[in-house]
Amino acid sequence: MILTSDEKQIILDSIRDIPDFPKPGIIFKDITTLLSNPKAYRILMTHLEKRYTSYDLDYIAGIDARGFIFGAALADRLGIGFVPVRKKGKLPYTTVAEKYSLEYGFDEVEIHIDAFGVNKGKKVLLIDDLIATGGTAKAAASLIDKVGATCVEVCFIMELAFLNGKKGIKAPVYSVLGID
């Protein structure tokens, strides 16, 4: 269940840094190179599958858009459903929304009101590629609870630990890679 230091390094080495994207001073962590590296992606997904097999999850929720990639693949491996948490206006049915703060203003994420069925208390893992300031993740975890499910953990492939984004997330947080 624990990644070796060599496995972590393989995953880390497969993630490309893009300086000054989307604006000057930002170093963007590009996961497209992780996705195109079959060895690194397999190590990552096998690790996540082993970690979450014993959690007895009902669903995985993935945050728009990169959380879809990891969440849907993991849901398939675990034989459970996948639920997208989308940006405002992207879901076709009745939704519940949650606002969150950005550096300059606000944004919103939504989930279908019946995303986890009619029975309350379904166990859900929330997943995304990266946590920075944590606003989107906090909003998404809150949405899971609002529609009657339980967010049992929030998982990130990478955590920019120096930004302390997991502060305020009520569910436990697991990050595969910590970036200082």
DSSP letters along 68-81, please?
Answer: HHHHHHHHHHHT-E
Q: Where are the domains of the chain?
A: 56-179
pLDDT at position 151 is 98
Say which of 16, 77, 86, 103 is annotated catalytic.
103
Share of the chain above pLDDT 90, in %: 92
Neighbours of 118 (CB within 10 A): 6
Reported as a single tens digit per residue, the pLDDT across 116-170 is 998 899 999 999 999 999 999 999 999 999 999 999 999 999 999 999 999 989 9
Contact 116, 147 (CB under 8 A): yes
Where is pLDDT greater, at 101 or 144?
A: 144
Say which of 7, 66, 77, 108 is annotated catalytic.
66
CATH number for the segment(s) 56-179: 3.40.50.2020
First to last CA, the chain: 23
SS3 assignment, position 112:
strand
Q: How far is CA 41 from CA 20, 44, 77, 92, in A?
A: 26, 5, 13, 31
Compute the 3-state secondary structure of the chain and give helix, strand, coil in percent, each to the nearest 5: 35, 35, 30
Q: How far is CA 162 from CA 31, 133, 173, in A?
A: 20, 9, 15
The answer, yes or no, to whether residue 103 has pLDDT greater than 80, is no
Establish whether 66 is a catalytic residue. yes
pTM above 0.85, yes or no: yes
Backbone angles phi, psi at 158, to 5 degrees: -135, 145
Q: pLDDT band for position 44 (50/70/90)?
A: very high
Establish whether 77 is a catalytic residue. no
In the DSSP assignment, the letter for residue 147 is T
Where is pLDDT greater, at 39 or 105?
A: 39
